[in-house]
């Protein structure tokens, strides 16, 4: 069994005739029996109202863009990310309908929490694969919910909630208490605690919504939500009973400190737990950069394989909320508004090459044994003279492959993971 996984796809415009690397990228992907992609855009005819929140900006494109993405040969999609609910319930429904019309299995979002949690199944002549998808980064209003006794279920995405606690020393704690007293930042939460509406946690001091504890060893800790962990444990274990292989895909923008390349503590805990529950691989995306690879109990965790298609600067339409957020005249077109926000294309994610590199892992199993992990490095046309192909996956040059190999080695060293060059590919050295 071979399984290929690609990162986030944000395709806002048709594939141009000048794009010549489609066959090469597709050729590698379709060597696999199961071919997974994370769809990070809403599919609509611009007829769905926007949510008041978004995943950074509001991303939607016609369903024809899904047909373009399908040209790469995918047979399974994840749809749990920070853009899933950019266009509210209408956008969710239109996206799921477009996938269903094309018989494309999808996981990570649905008309209830049970549906959003449930795996997508891909059957092959070499066995069946269950794919589950979850996102830790999204507005809480995007979270799918279970029904009550008389209340129907809530559509949305499969969310991994988490808690954060910040440890500060005695002097810093005193300063926080003085700030709270002077600013009354805790007025409402203190009243809520007195009324029993907000639970007081022993030893925890609130500064607004932030939670602090006193400890001379200062820093941050984070932990996944126990209810979400229990739900995912059940989902993974049940999927393992009825499938030959289980892959968990997650989308996360949370980081440990100041470095986007470092996965947060709760993400590490969640990913390892998925392996403990029976997952054969855990693959992440989110912050647009490549992150470390860990081999845990003989199974791979890719903390981020980054982007596959990245055209976040090319939406044809935007809601007026975008203009209002940045103080831009509402008469400006989407392209004009994006140009103003980016200061003429000189700032933002679209100006850094690190956001235009990605990984395509190929996992090869023989029965229960993981036999090999190969990675195809891709670059997304950042330096291409033809700007119409910016954001589309291309074969990485030799120099970029070496650069990506160096990045993987540096980021994965704390996890003890080693790599070697294998022609145009990179191989993860298995124990």
DSSP secondary structure, 219-237, as one string: EEEEEE-HHHHHHHHHHHH
User: If you average pLDDT over residues 102-111, what whole number do you get?
Assistant: 99
Asked if 297 contacts 276 with a C-beta cutoff of 8 angstroms, the reply is yes
C-alpha 127: how far from its chain's center? 27
pLDDT in tens, 36-73: 999 999 999 999 999 999 999 999 999 999 999 999 99
Torsion over CA: 270, 275, 278, 283 (sign): positive
How far is residue 202's CA from residue 199's CA, in Å, rounded to a whole number? 10
- State both tokens at 187: 């007025």
> What confidence tens digit (pLDDT) does each residue in 288-340 have?
999 999 999 999 999 999 999 999 999 999 999 999 999 999 999 999 999 99
The C-alpha torsion from 329 through 349 and 93 to 129, rounded to 10°, is: 180
Average pLDDT over residues 384-389: 95
For residue 353, the model assigns a pLDDT of: 98
What tokens were used for 380? Answer: 């997304």
Instruction: Look at residue 257 and give its three-state secondary structure.
Output: coil
pLDDT class of 364 with cuts at 50, 70, 90:
very high
Distance CA 404, CA 396 (A): 9
Alpha helices in 162-225 (DSSP H): 170-183, 187-194
Q: By the 8 A CB rule, do 76 and 34 touch?
A: yes
3 state SS of 85: coil
**265-277 helix and 226-242 helix, angle to the nearest 10 degrees:** 30
Kindly report the CA angle at 313 between 45 and 72, in degrees rounded to 5? 70
Give 212's pLDDT tier (boundaries 50, 70, 90): very high
Q: For 68-78, write each residue's pLDDT tens digit.
A: 999 999 999 99
Q: How far is CA 219 from CA 165, 166, 212, 303, 386, in A?
A: 9, 6, 10, 22, 46
| Residues 254-267, mean pLDDT to the nearest whole number | 95
Starting at the earlier edge strand, list the strands of the sheet with 293-296: 120-124, 127-135, 245-252, 281-286, 299-302, 293-296
Q: Binning pLDDT at 50, 70 and 90, where does residue 148 land?
A: very high
Domains and CATH numbers, the chain: 2-147+225-251+263-317+352-428 (3.60.21), 162-222 (no CATH)
Bridge partners of residue 124, in order along the sequence:
127
pLDDT of amino acid 195: 94
The contacts of residue 259 (CB under 8 Å, 6+ apart) are none
> How do 109-110 and 156-157 pair as beta strands?
antiparallel
Mean pLDDT of 252-269: 96
Residue 77 three-state SS: strand
Per-residue confidence (pLDDT) for residue 158, from 0 to 100: 99
- Kindly state the tokens that stand for 323: 């203009």
Q: Tell whether the torsion through CA atoms of 303, 305, 307 and 309 is positive or negative.
A: negative
Q: How confident is the model at residue 283 (pLDDT cuts 50, 70, 90)?
A: very high
**Contact between 420 and 427 (Cβ < 8 Å):** yes
Q: Are 167 and 176 in contact (CB under 8 A)?
A: no
DSSP reduced 3-state for 376 = strand
Give every CB contact of residue 352 below 8 A, 6+ residues apart in sequence. Answer: none
Q: What are phi and psi of 36, to 5 degrees?
A: -105, 140
Pairing of strands 2-10, 162-168: unpaired
pLDDT grade for 376, boundaries at 50, 70 and 90: very high
pLDDT at 161: 99
Give percent helix, percent strand, percent coil of the chain, each to the nearest 5.
30, 30, 40
CA 198 to chain centre: 30
């Amino acid at each position: 069994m071979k399984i290929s996984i690609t990162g986030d796809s944000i395709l806002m415009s048709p594939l141009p005739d000048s794009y010549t690397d489609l066959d090469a990228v597709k050729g590698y992907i379709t060597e696999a029996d199961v071919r997974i992609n994370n769809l990070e855009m809403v599919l609509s005819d611009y007829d769905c109202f926007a949510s008041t929140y978004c995943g950074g900006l509001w991303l939607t494109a016609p369903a024809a863009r899904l047909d373009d993405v399908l040209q790469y040969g995918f047979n399974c999609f994840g749809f749990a990310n920070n853009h899933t609910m950019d266009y509210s319930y209408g956008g969710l429904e239109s996206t799921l309908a477009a996938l269903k019309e094309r018989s494309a299995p999808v996981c990570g979002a649905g008309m209830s929490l049970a549906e959003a949690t449930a795996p997508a199944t891909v059957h092959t002549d070499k066995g069946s694969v269950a794919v589950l998808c979850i996102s830790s980064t999204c507005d809480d209003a995007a979270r799918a919910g279970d029904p009550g006794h008389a209340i129907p279920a809530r559509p949305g995405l499969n969310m991994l909630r988490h808690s954060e606690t910040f440890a500060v020393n005695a002097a810093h704690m005193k300063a926080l208490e003085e700030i709270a007293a002077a600013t009354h930042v805790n007025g409402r939460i203190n009243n809520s605690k007195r009324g029993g509406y907000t639970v007081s946690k022993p030893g925890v001091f609130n500064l607004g919504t932030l939670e602090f504890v006193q400890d001379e060893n200062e820093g941050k800790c984070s932990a996944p939500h126990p209810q979400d962990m229990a739900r995912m444990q059940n989902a993974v274990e049940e999927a393992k009973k009825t499938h030959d292989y289980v892959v968990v895909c997650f989308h996360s923008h949370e980081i440990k400190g100041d470095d986007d390349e470092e996965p947060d503590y709760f993400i590490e805990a969640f990913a390892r737990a998925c392996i403990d529950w029976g997952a054969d691989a855990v693959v992440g995306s989110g912050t647009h950069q490549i992150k470390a690879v860990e081999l845990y109990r003989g199974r791979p965790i890719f903390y981020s394989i980054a982007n596959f298609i990245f055209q976040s600067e090319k939406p044809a339409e935007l809601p007026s909320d975008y203009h209002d957020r940045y103080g831009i005249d509402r008469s400006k077109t989407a392209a004009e508004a994006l140009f103003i926000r980016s200061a003429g294309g000189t700032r933002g994610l679209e100006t850094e090459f690190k956001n235009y590199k990605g990984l395509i892992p190929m996992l090869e199993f023989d029965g229960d044994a993981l036999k090999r992990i190969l990675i195809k490095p891709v670059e997304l046309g950042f330096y291409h003279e033809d700007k119409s192909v910016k954001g589309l996956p291309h074969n990485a040059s030799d120099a970029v492959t070496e650069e990506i190999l160096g990045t993987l080695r540096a980021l994965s060293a704390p996890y003890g993971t080693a790599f070697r060059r294998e022609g145009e590919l990179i191989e993860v050295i298995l124990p």
